[in-house]
Structure 1
Amino acid sequence: MNKLNVGIIGCGAIAMEKHLPALLKLSDKVNVKGFASRNEEKAKKGANLVGNDAKIYTDYKDMLQDPEIDVVHICTPNALHSSMTVEALEAGKHVMCEKPMALNSQEAEEMVKAAERTGKKLTIAYQNRFRKDSILLKQACTNGDLGEIYVAKAHAIRRRGVPTWGVFLNKEMQGGGALIDIGTHALDLTLWLMNNYEVESVTGVVHNKLRHENKANPFGPWDPDHFNVEESAFSFIKMKNGASIYLECSWALNSLDEREAMTTLSGTKGGAEMRRNTALGTNELIFNTEMYGNLVSTQLQNAAGISYISPVEETDADREMAQWIDAILEDKNPVVEPRQALVVTQILEAIYRSAELNDTIKF
């Protein structure tokens, strides 16, 4: 089997701490051959971590024209996702693009069309689908254990956790704040578990209320005068079959119920909840139903894994990268399909639009 040569565009934390370590574990299938960044020192750092003949590019277009590169991972700010992805696909590369897919639905649609036109693989890096609890819950949903899922809540709540590095607070580069950053994960996870992408309407609100409350932020204080994105967003999403999703997300909210990239599902046969055990610092997966005239709840003890026991425990990023590389080698669909990610982007765009117009957006 020939190995795939992978190039990484953007050499920040998400590239160096998520993509690269997981790719290096696939050394029987992958060679990491290049790093592209306008900051040459960051590209050199990536090449040094690989320790082979990895190339350095200060212009990503040079990487795209390199015939040795088969696959490109795009780990740049959101505003660059669409154009870089389309260019990479047109250059004959398979593409994994970091979330969110794009700033808006038009850009996302261009990415989908480019993938379909070129026949190259495209996926979006929604790694929370690859957590152990997510995989188990997906199996339960697919098996019909919950029955018809008609009510869901998508959770992305931090009590304080505003990212103060990079361009997270830059609306022009990111397209928004907490909603497009962490709300996108909770929404993607919920839609995927429900296997429902037919949206009827979206109603949303966004807030920037706590921009001056920065003293308790674990990532350090920010400049309130340059915090021009929302720290919170809330939405009611109605699906065409009558199902509904309530999305809550915030980088900073005065709430003790902290849950990020989690969901609550309610079906005709039973329900399921992803919860955060703050005392133990672990995630929990709880199923609920009725049995013999009684209400029953069942908690899966190791659904989220016990990675602290072994430093070589497989991570969600490991599983994400492995399925992606196999999808290319075996010519099959990746777990995160482009048109699924497109719907996520359409909903995010509709939430912002609904908040702006103070109205419900019809699909």
Structure 2
Amino acid sequence: MSIGWGVIGASGIARRRTIPEGLIPAKDAILAAVMGTSEERTKAVAKEYDVKWYLSEQELLDDKEVQAVYVATPTHLHAQQTIRALRAGKHVLCEKPMAMNLKEAEQMIAEAEKHDCKLAIGYMMRFHAWHQKLKQMVDADELGALVMGRAQLTCWYPKIEGAWRQDPALGGGGALADMGSHCIDLLEMLLGRTQKVTAFVDTIVQDYPVEDSSVVLLRCESGAIGIVEAHFNVPDEASVNMLEIYGSKGRVEGRGTIGQVSTGAMTAVLQTDDKEYDADQQREGTSEVLRLQLQVIEPEEVVNIYQAEIEDFCEAISHNRKPCVSGEDGLWNLRVLMAAYESSKQGKAVKMIGG
């Protein structure tokens, strides 16, 4: 079953990544139309892929060839554009963060249910082949009892005139909302949902009214502590963008797997036996130290994260199932984000409610 797609917000991430890497190569996805506010940019994208173009949302939503809509606009537009699309009977993949506040997010979910449409949120890093491999290892208890996880995503993002991510009224936040939300999603996929949040959010280097630094501690339902680090003030050359998970049997470390690319590297250091230490910290009466084995982790197949995201949503539509990252997942992520901002503002831990 082929799904015709329309894109609202044809420039930015849609033009750079989601259209060429996701919609074009994805199985059962057909790019039917694009819509944007800049005629020049929108026409250029339409010409590149030989599709229809519109300058109004309603024209795109009236297009009978469009069954699914990808909303790739600034965050303050997500709710209104998603709701219009759902009311037009279109399935919607909306970029993250889902909305500016919980009320908007809840309304988006309600509209999807009311009109029997699918709603997904664009946390595409879940689909990374190494992250999926790590998830399998965690589920198979290869790391033992989960102890701690760390997800770091940093870049250099100086003040830019007109940049919507630097305006809290348009983006809802800075480094934490834009990049830290991905880190929260990944850690929760591996460690379980958050129960308590402690955060430190600040603007240290850049000159704009959103945060350029954030460190968030998540107490997860597995008992493990998750550490989120998202910064707009670290040079690109110095950014590692790493994911680490520690357990009672060892650790797994991914480097370069967090981000917009589908590559990277991952290694594991796992305990090779179950011998116990004695009271003198010796292994069963000997001076033998704990043997560890370094393993290079390789997934069975490397997939493009944007292509996998689109294919998952197409399959959710055709097989009438929930997408991998549902609207409810997006709402919960937003709840954790809001708790982190509140924790930093109040200077104390915030307990999550529900979930």
TM-score (norm. length: structure 2)? 0.84
Superposed, 1:50-199 pairs within 5 Å as: 50-51=49-50, 54-158=51-155, 160-162=156-158, 164=160, 166-194=163-191, 196-197=192-193, 199=194
Q: Which runs of 5+ in 1 are unaligned?
A: 212-223, 306-312
How many angstroms apart in 2 are the aligned matches of 1:109 and 1:295?
50
User: Does the 8 A contact of 1:78 with 1:102 survive in 2?
Assistant: yes
| Change in CA separation of 1:126 and 1:67 when aligned onto 2, cut-off 3 Å | same
Match of 2:28 in 1: 29
| CA distance in 1: counterparts of 2:159 and 2:188, whole angstroms | 26
CA distance in structure 1 between the aligned counterparts of 2:32 and 2:198, rounded to whole angstroms: 45
Give 5+ residue unaligned stretches, structure 2: 258-262, 276-289
From the superposition, tell whether residues 162 and 179 of structure 1 become closer, same or farther in structure 2 (CA, over 3 Å): farther
Among candidates 194, 200, 206, match of residue 205 of structure 1: 200
Letter matched to residue 229 of structure 1 = V
Task: Measure, in 2, the Cα distance between the counterparts of 1:304 and 1:75.
Answer: 31
* Inter-partner Cα distance in structure 2 for 1:143 and 1:47: 46
Please tell me whether the aligned partners of residues 286 and 297 of structure 1 are also in contact (alpha carbons under 8 angstroms). Answer: no
Residues 131 and 304 in structure 1, CA contact (< 8 A), matched pair in contact too: no
Q: Is the 8 A contact 2:28 2:311 kept in 1?
A: no
Deviation at 1:241, TM superposition (A): 5.1
**Structure 1 residue 258: deviation in Å?**
2.9
RMSD: 2.5
Residue deviations 1:197-234 (CA, integer Å, cap 9, x gap): 2x3321211111112xxxxxxxxxxxx3xx11110011
Aligned to 1:234: 215
Query: Per the alignment, do residues 286 and 246 of structure 1 end up closer, same or farther by CA in structure 2, a change over 3 Å counting?
Result: same
Residues 275/30 of structure 1: CA separation in 2 closer, same or farther (3 Å cut)? closer
Could you tell me how far 1:8 is from its partner in structure 2?
A: 0.2
Q: Does 1:5 align with 2:4?
A: yes
Structure-2 change in CA distance of 1:270 and 1:339 (3 Å): farther
Deviation at 1:15, TM superposition (A): 0.8
Q: Distance in 2 between matches of 1:316 and 1:101?
A: 19
Mapped partners of 2:36, 2:95: distance in 1: 15
For residues 124 and 247 of structure 1, what CA distance do their matches in structure 2 show? 20
How far apart in 1 are the matches of 2:235 and 2:122?
29
Counterpart of 2:25, as a letter, is K
Aligned to 1:324: 313
Instruction: Quote the sequence identity (%).
Output: 28
2:269 pairs with one of 273, 277, 288: 288
Bigger shift: 57-66 or 70-79? 57-66
Contact in 1 for aligned 2:129/2:303 (Cα 8 Å): no
In 2, Cα distance between equivalents of 1:82 and 1:168 = 17
Q: Distance in 1 between matches of 2:237 and 2:34?
A: 41
Kindly state the Cα deviation for residue 256 of structure 1 after the two structures are TM-superposed: 8.8
- Give a deviation string over 1:259-312, Cα, whole Å, max 9, x none: 32x4221223332221249xxxx732122222235242433265598xxxxxxx
